Chain A
């Protein structure tokens, strides 16, 4: 077989490490990371649904996991990941209409995405924990 010549050394386009970190850029990265988190988080959803349908013993195993410290941490992270990705998705849908690209708009949207996701996650967990302590 003919030898394939190594490609000539060409200047590469600047990548992440070249730029000073900016909020909009970090939020873009976080959107992708939370997407990956949500992807694997669906395993928990599937486990929960299968456990609920399998019976009390299977459900008790899921409840034990969900109630453990590591389970709580994972579920809290999963909640934030879902909310953050959803708000980020709304931001993308706004962009799809051609709006929200101005310098102040995009900064405002990025900040609202981050603050909103943390606030909603905390509120959901407070509501959730109250619901667990409330009447059955």
Chain B
């Protein structure tokens, strides 16, 4: 851009390059961060699930509660629920234009993601601590 083009933005704003929102890339970045994390974690979770197929509850509980397996499953749940909350929020923002409905759905989306994350983590931890 040449200097004779009229800018509303100050030189400092231009150098920072963050636009008016200042911090609009947080969800964008987290979506990619969790996407990358999801790849090995999902592969690991699938392997764990296949290992557990057809086993009875006692065996499943024992294997799922083993520290390494439990930690992988906890990481999987954490990364997946963060990723899906952001993804669903984008979908809501794309298709729901009524402001109050949109905000309600975004809140419900957050509650759902946290509830699923906590319920899953509770199950894993309960197995792991053997209560």
Contacts and interface: CB of A to CB of B under 8 A. Distances in A.
A110 interface: no
A35 B59 contact: no
Contacts of B119: 46, 49-50
- Give chain B's interface secondary structure class: helix
B53 A60 contact: no
Interface stretch (B2-10, B18-26, B35-43, B99-107): B35-43
Interface residues of A, number: 34
Nearest to A56: B57
Given A131-B53, A132-B54, A45 B77 contact: yes
A32 B91 contact: yes
Contact of B123 (A42, A49, A86, A92): A49
Contacts, number: 90
Contacts of B72: none
A51 B77 CA distance: 16
Nearest to B65: A53
B84 A53 contact: no
Interface string A65-103: 000000000000000001000100110110010000000
Contacts of A54: 123
A11 B13 CA distance: 34
A53 B35 contact: no
The 9 nearest A-B residue pairs measured at CB: A49-B123, A132-B54, A59-B57, A53-B126, A53-B123, A50-B123, A46-B119, A56-B57, A46-B120
8 contacts: A35-B84, A35-B87, A35-B91, A39-B84, A42-B80, A42-B116, A86-B42, A89-B39
Given A56-B58, A86-B42, 11 more contacts: A32-B91, A42-B80, A46-B116, A46-B119, A49-B64, A49-B73, A50-B119, A52-B123, A82-B46, A86-B38, A136-B54
Interface of A: 32, 35-36, 38-39, 42-43, 45-46, 49-56, 59-60, 82, 86, 89-90, 92-93, 96, 124, 127-128, 131-134, 136
